[in-house]
Structure 1
Amino acid sequence: MLVDSHCHLDFPDFAPERDQVVARAHAAGIGLMVTISTRVRRFAEILAIAEAYDGVYCSVGTHPHNAGEETDVTTDELVQLAAHPKVVAIGEAGLDYFYDKAPRAAQATGLRRHIAAARQTGLPLVIHARDADADMAAILEEETGRGAFPFVLHCFSSGRQLAETGIRLGGYVSFSGILAFRKSDELRAIARDLPHDRILVETDAPYLAPPPHRGKRNEPAFVAHTAAVLADTLGLTPDDLAARTTENFFRLFSKVPRSAGGGRS
């Protein structure tokens, strides 16, 4: 079994055929999916999707793009919402200096509130980092010094130093379809050097479809293509890679029952 540790099933791209998308994922051997929150104020929509499928779980949080819109979201609110059985992660939150859609101060404040929620709940923080390696590393160092918390650097496309910092502080690194892009040699080199017990796979669907679907809408079933490239990169068989990343997922997303996976509730 493979796990898509990060997708966005609430996005409009999937609305017309969400049942079929989930079914195709299960048919491709994707037993579990985590649909990731980008706006706390739309959390009810995310939760409804997670409740509709046995093999789908969700997170609660505010994406850095939306940090300026949700400055009123508190750590206490995140902790309260995360109590639902289907909520297995905090985020995604982080820093995005590429698009800069929200003030950087609001992004940082939001990130720290999400870190506090992850620390209080023990749920993993799903971290978005783009063109912000130095500031992200500094915040992770500082906040970990105040008390450890579980986290994953999702859709990793940053530099080697951030990956190594994340691993050193106890975090995980998740690879998306970017890993399979032809020009991603540097990213594959980083992946090759990471400990096998700290890696995950994801789609970030509907974005970043891996070859042979690049340029099309991504969906959870396609995580199998990224997993195949990661297996080749690490010199593992596809079955071994699936077993390792799934074990890593259950270790990090510890609220998900190990018996979970597949089917419609």
Structure 2
Amino acid sequence: MDPASDLFDSHCHLDFPAFDGWRERALAEARAVGVLEILVPGVTAQHWPRLLAFCAGDPALYPALGLHPCFLSEHRPEHLELLETRLAAGGVRAIGEIGLDYFIDDADPESQQYYLEGQLALASRFDLPVLLHVRKAHDRMLKTLRRARLGRAGIVHAFSGSGQQARQYIELGFRLGFGGAISYDRATKLRRLAASLPLESLVLETDAPDMPLSDWRDEPNRPQRIRDVFEVLCSLRSEAPEQIARQTTANVHEVLALNIA
């Protein structure tokens, strides 16, 4: 694989049970097609040790820890204290996956906001970027971020908002994650955004084992599919593939401060 087209999967749940029994194979298959680095977000405190142990064995796997808004029943206020302890120990590259999801049943916006604000405060204290999950709540999230005044921004995972909202996130310093959703012809608004937003603001992601591409919609997603997301993005944009690969990878490096010794 040409190093000029090496790719970074900025959002892949390799620690999830869906990969049990073939995790190393999934990783090897990804690397065989040039997916050399992966950011692995956490979603519940219970599984942070599993994620950290997995990432500790590979310098190209970067751990993030967070309390996901879709797992509220598994979160406890003391988990924010536990997160603080984990962050103080070092080695964590980002706080995530965190956010607001008003699409799910029984969303409980108040509880979601509590955990979001608690984690944003930790991001500010430890000078870490955040990985945001946002559905049907972009305006509320933007308002919250403006109050939070983060030292570093982060990534809006699986961006699904409007062009205006995209520009507001970009003004706050965020990158926008694009994945399998842009492979669906019916996703016209999202494909237009992927085509027209500044390349410096885009990152690639799979969200594996979730968010499969259109050609594999009936099977779990896998990190090697970032190559297919990349090819879709290339078909939508005017830049050379090498430039798209180089810039999207550099964007994740900058978010995670991997370019700082």
TM-score, normalised on structure 2?
0.91
For 2:17, the equivalent position in structure 1 comes to 12
Task: Tell me which of 115, 132, 138 is aligned to 1:133.
Answer: 138
Alignment length, in residue pairs? 256
Residues 60 and 78 of structure 1: is their aligned pair in 2 closer, same or farther, counting only changes over 3 Å? same
CA contact (8 A) 2:45 2:79 kept: no
The answer to whether structure 1 residue 205 and structure 2 residue 208 are counterparts is: yes
SS in 1 for 2:10: strand
Aligned mates of 1:241, 1:10 — CA distance in 2: 28
- For each residue in 1:187-245, what CA deviation from the matched residue of structure 2 results, as whole angstroms up to 9, or x when unmatched? 11122332211210000000112243222110110011111111222212222111001
Larger mean Cα displacement after TM superposition, 68-77 or 57-66: 68-77
For 1:88, the equivalent position in structure 2 comes to 93
CA contact (8 A) 1:66 1:102 kept: no
Q: Which runs of 5+ in 1 are unaligned?
A: 260-265
CA contact (8 A) 2:15 2:51 kept: yes
Which residue type is aligned with residue 230 of structure 1? L
For 2:175, the equivalent position in structure 1 comes to 172
CA contact (8 A) 1:115 1:149 kept: no
What is the Cα deviation at residue 128 of structure 1?
A: 0.3
Larger mean Cα displacement after TM superposition, 49-58 or 70-79: 70-79
- For each residue in 1:17-69, what CA deviation from the matched residue of structure 2 results, as whole angstroms up to 9, or x when unmatched? 00100100110100101111000232101111111323212111100012343
Aligned mates of 1:55, 1:237 — CA distance in 2: 26
- For each residue in 1:233-263, what CA deviation from the matched residue of structure 2 results, as whole angstroms up to 9, or x when unmatched? 2212222111001111110011x4689xxxx
Aligned mates of 2:103, 2:78 — CA distance in 1: 23
The answer to whether structure 1 residue 51 and structure 2 residue 52 are counterparts is: no
TM-score, normalised on structure 1?
0.90
SS in 2 for 1:82: helix
CA contact (8 A) 2:51 2:63 kept: yes
Aligned mates of 1:83, 1:53 — CA distance in 2: 21
Which residue type is aligned with residue 224 of structure 2? A
Larger mean Cα displacement after TM superposition, 74-83 or 194-203: 74-83
Residue identity (%) = 30
Q: Which runs of 5+ in 2 are unaligned?
A: 1-5
What is the Cα deviation at residue 86 of structure 1?
A: 4.0
SS in 1 for 2:23: helix
Aligned mates of 1:38, 1:59 — CA distance in 2: 9
SS in 2 for 1:174: strand
Residues 42 and 228 of structure 1: is their aligned pair in 2 closer, same or farther, counting only changes over 3 Å? same
Task: Tell me which of 112, 119, 133 is aligned to 2:117.
Answer: 112
Which residue type is aligned with residue 197 of structure 1? E
Task: Tell me which of 23, 26, 31 is aligned to 1:21.
Answer: 26
What is the Cα deviation at residue 98 of structure 1?
A: 0.9
